[in-house]
Amino acid sequence: MATIKSYTNIEQSKKLAEILPLESADMYYMETSCNNYTIGALQRLEKDMLLKQAEYYKMFPCWSLAALFGVLRIHTTPTAFSINISVPSLTKTKDGYSITYVGDYRIMESNNNNIESPIKIVADNSIDACVEMIIKLHEMNLL
């Protein structure tokens, strides 16, 4: 059975904070006095203030599924008469969740045999699938 997650875990959040603009996060972790972490949602008005004071309060950003999808680009390629579009698509499967780009064309990756295949990530839950896709696109300079 697939794991249900509402937001990125601490390790994923730290990795994404190196890749993504901090303003794209919509939640945060804050270290408590017991060395545990609490989670909270960033309010639009206090978001800038919280991100500026993150070091002081031992806070760091994390992302919900909606925020992760907001980061994934829609890729376009102009043609002679139109524009081909490729969009991220998340699908629930028997193995968990699958994310790939679908549309007029697909974003491809090489498997070192001069053969390209569409980028497809499968994970236990939707958050993990999106995080892995973002990391993969970042590595390919397509984010």
User: 98 vs 7, 17, 91, 139, CA distance in Å?
Assistant: 17, 23, 5, 19
Specify whether 77 is located in the same domain as 126. Answer: yes
Specify whether 53 is located in the same domain as 95. Answer: no
What pLDDT is recorded for position 98?
A: 93
Return the higher-pLDDT residue of 25 and 55: 25
Specify whether 98 is located in the same domain as 41. Answer: no
Give per-residue pLDDT as tens, 2-27: 467 889 998 999 899 999 998 898 88
Please report which confidence band the pLDDT of residue 69 belongs to, taking 50, 70 and 90 as the band edges.
Answer: very high
Domain encompassing residue 125: 69-139
Half-sphere exposure (Cβ direction) of 55: Cα atoms closer than 13 Å: 1
123 has pLDDT over 70: yes
Domain boundary among 64, 90, 107: 64
Specify whether 39 is located in the same domain as 86. Answer: no
Q: Return d(Cα 107, Cα 129) in angstroms, integer.
A: 16
Specify whether 26 is located in the same domain as 76. Answer: no
- The owner of tokens 């960033």 is 42
Whether 48 is in a domain gets the answer yes
Whether 3 is in a domain gets the answer no
pTM listed for this prediction? 0.78
Whether 5 is in a domain gets the answer no
CB 135 within 8 A of CB 15: yes
Specify the number of domains making up the chain: 2
Specify whether 60 is located in the same domain as 95. Answer: no
Q: Return d(Cα 129, Cα 123) in angstroms, integer.
A: 5
Whether 84 is in a domain gets the answer yes
Specify whether 97 is located in the same domain as 128. Answer: yes
Whether 2 is in a domain gets the answer no
For residues 66-91, average pLDDT:
88
Whether 95 is in a domain gets the answer yes
Q: Return d(Cα 134, Cα 143) in angstroms, integer.
A: 7
The kind and range of the H/E element at 76 are strand 75-78
